[in-house]
Amino acid sequence: MAFISTLKFFAKLDQIPLIDAVSGNSLRVVGSGSASLLTDKLGYQMREQQHLQLTDISLNITNKASVGFWLNPVNPGVVRDPVSEDLKPLRMSVMDIQDLGGDEIFLVHEETDKDGKNNRLKVIVDSNVTLLSSKYTISNWHHFWIFYDGSAGSVKLFVDGKEDQSSTSGVPPDLSTSVGTVNISRQALGTIFDVGDNTGGIDDVVVLNDAISSSATLKKIINTSTAYAFDTSFENNDEVDQGFLFNDPNAFTVTALVDDGTSLLASRTDGKILEGLPLFWETLRRFQDPEEASNLDIFGDGFSIENGSLVISGKAVVKT
């Protein structure tokens, strides 16, 4: 598969050994035990006292970068400050990127909420810029996208395809990282009382040396295969008014089910997204906000295709 040149790291985390699809190198499992996959091989099950690492990656990051991943969070509760007796969020590492000298360019972790049902994502760029997301629910998959643009002096955080937080204060104009290390679920936050291991799920981790904030591109990354989103052979395809490529009912993968059960999304083998009515299939990619599906761009007069017990009737969804 031919990835666009700005994609420097891509780990789908769906089979053992866990690999970086760009270089073909295996991720090193650091700590206790062996790596575990989630049910149906849908991502990596983060474990206590264990993290994934790939060193000496040619990141070639200068003044732009993007980081993205799917996350299925957990909330083990909060901790009590031994001095003040106040309840404090527990910090759990998600991922970080280090330069050749070991300094963190991107540091991403979760902070737990005292209600036990919500977390926040905390992003630190080059120790200068900190973004703290809005609350999101645990035990549901969420997509996160962070981009840094030193030329524009901006860092932004997208949650489930929508801009959530941004900063233009203290943004470094240049990160200058030719070679680096990507860590997943590494304890990079110190050894103080409010730091804990992350035991949630993570999938589709990508790192680019470009600042992508196009809503159309993010829709494609979220709602179709990440591999299609970054494959140059699908980048400029024109939409055709048909349900599946060559009308082949087998040429698709169901990728999402709206929470109220009224609609599913499927990716076609040419990278296009389909929206239709599900009968018996349920999938991992459940949208937390039903309005997310309606934000996609709709095209075509509709279709109805049967494949065994599955009938999809709906409209094609395309990038703009």
Greater confidence (63 vs 273) lies with 63
Query: What span, in angstroms and rounded, lies between the C-alpha atoms of 184 and 94?
Result: 6
User: Any idea which of 66-75, 201-210, 269-278 has the lowest mean pLDDT?
Assistant: 269-278
Contact 177, 49 (CB under 8 A): no
Provide the pLDDT for residue 282: 33
| Helices (H), ranges, 126-237 | 215-223, 226-229
Query: What span, in angstroms and rounded, lies between the C-alpha atoms of 195 and 107?
Result: 14
Q: In the predicted model, is pLDDT for residue 44 greater than 60?
A: yes
Query: What span, in angstroms and rounded, lies between the C-alpha atoms of 320 and 26?
Result: 35
Contact 214, 235 (CB under 8 A): no
Domains in the chain (CATH in brackets) are 7-213 (2.60.120.200), 237-318 (no CATH)
Closest CA to 97 of 213, 8, 184, 212: 184
Provide the pLDDT for residue 246: 33
Provide the pLDDT for residue 250: 47
pLDDT digits (tens, 9 = 90+) for 205-215: 999 999 998 87
Greater confidence (272 vs 35) lies with 35
Estimate to the nearest angstrom the gap between the alpha carbon of 280 and the chain centroid. Answer: 26
Q: Is the pTM of this model over 0.75?
A: yes
Greater confidence (217 vs 170) lies with 170
